[in-house]
Amino acid sequence: MEKIIVILGPTATGKTTLAVKLAKKFHGEIISADSRAIYRGLSIGTAKPRGKWKTNTIDGRQLCLFLYKNIPHHIVDFLSPKKSFSAHDFAIKSKKLIRSIDLPIVTGGTGFWIDALVNNTALGNTSPNQDLRKKLAKKSLGQLFGQLKKLDPNRASTIQRSNKRRLIRAIEIAVNILRVKRSGIEKFSTGLSADKQAQTINYHTLYLGINFPNTTIKKRIHKRFLLWLKQGLAAETKKLTKQVGKKRLKEIGLAYPIVAEYLEEKITKPEMIERSVNSIYHYAKRQKTWFKRNKKIHWIKTYKQAEKLTKRFLK
């Protein structure tokens, strides 16, 4: 059984820093589980590692790798922000990578993606249902959220309520899962039963979690957001808006649509900062809610704890 390490937790807690240290110590490579860091051009506002794409020759083959502190980072900075990338896409791409990496370290705060990979969640296999989407598109955000809450309370507790596209997709998946359960059909796109899938793609997983009290997380988010502004978040948002449009920018969410409002002079700078920090903070709380369900997580306080657990795990 292949061994993987998963480093998770809410945003602004230092997951990447820990992942890089462990990767250097134990010769690992990082698979990013961040649903926004996958996009090119979303760097500052996603706290993407400040790495660079470099061409390396490995076993006679030329490979282009995203390197940060000389550690390869996968599933990051590779996709146009105009395109979508699902939990299923992430799981499929990660599984291929894991087969070729000595020690994969899956790192990020997108719990839905991590579950799709580690727990063989078949949710992402749901094909688009255009008739259902048309019906759902006519509903308000409140109505969509209410419907999702009835169908899948766990997903509802972590989803961004203002993102209509994600709400519709989540309902679409939940409806399909319910249909499968009611019909007694346990087959998905692989042609295998859910049990068989779990048996064929299984990992021995060490979960390492990083967390802080809510007040500390909010302070860290505020401090980091002010740094983002100094690094050029406004210019990044302006460029991104031109590239993808306001509708897509809202779907991407978090601080970007709020900063866009500031650039249009609809809100003041203090309002922009307060609303952006609050938006990211509420996202962090949703992340914490999601991870609470996983009782296998080792919540660590120091790097030494993480190193000790990793050594024991790899024996």
Q: At residue 59, does pLDDT exceed 90?
A: no
170 annotated among ligand-binding-site residues: no
pLDDT at 254 over 80: yes
Average pLDDT over residues 158-170: 82
Q: Do the annotations mark residue 190 as ligand-binding? A: no
Mean predicted confidence (pLDDT) in 55-65 = 76
pLDDT of 12 higher than 50: yes
The answer to the question of whether 296 is labelled as a binding residue is no
Helix (H, G, I), strand (E, B) or coil at 187: strand
* Alpha carbons 260 and 245: distance in angstroms, whole number: 11
**Which residues have a Cβ under 8 Å from the Cβ of 33 and sit 6 or more positions away?**
6, 8, 75, 90, 94, 106, 107, 108, 109, 110, 113, 114, 117
Position 182 confidence tier, pLDDT thresholds 50, 70, 90: low
**Which of the two residues, 161 and 44, has the higher pLDDT score?**
44
The pLDDT of residue 194 = 38
11 is annotated as contributing to ligand binding? yes
Q: Say whether 37 counts as a known binding-site residue.
A: no
Reported as a single tens digit per residue, the pLDDT across 107-121 is 999 999 999 999 876
Mean pLDDT of the chain: 89
Q: For residue 109, say whether it is annotated as part of any ligand binding site.
A: no
Residue 15 labelled as part of a binding site: yes
For residue 196, give Cα distances in angstroms to 13, 167, 199. Answer: 36, 30, 5
168-176 LR contacts (CB < 8 Å, sep 24+)? 168/133, 168/136, 168/137, 168/144, 169/86, 171/132, 171/136, 171/144, 171/147, 172/126, 172/128, 172/129, 172/132, 172/133, 172/136, 173/123, 173/124, 173/126, 174/148, 175/129, 175/132, 175/151, 176/126, 176/129
Residues in the chain: 315
Query: How do residues 200-242 score in pLDDT, each as one tens digit?
Result: 457 999 999 999 999 999 999 999 999 999 999 999 999 999 9
Predicted confidence (pLDDT) per residue in 67-105, tens digit = 999 999 999 999 999 999 999 999 999 999 999 999 999
User: So what's the pLDDT on residue 180?
Assistant: 54
H or E element, residue 149: helix 141-151
- 12 annotated ligand-binding residue: yes
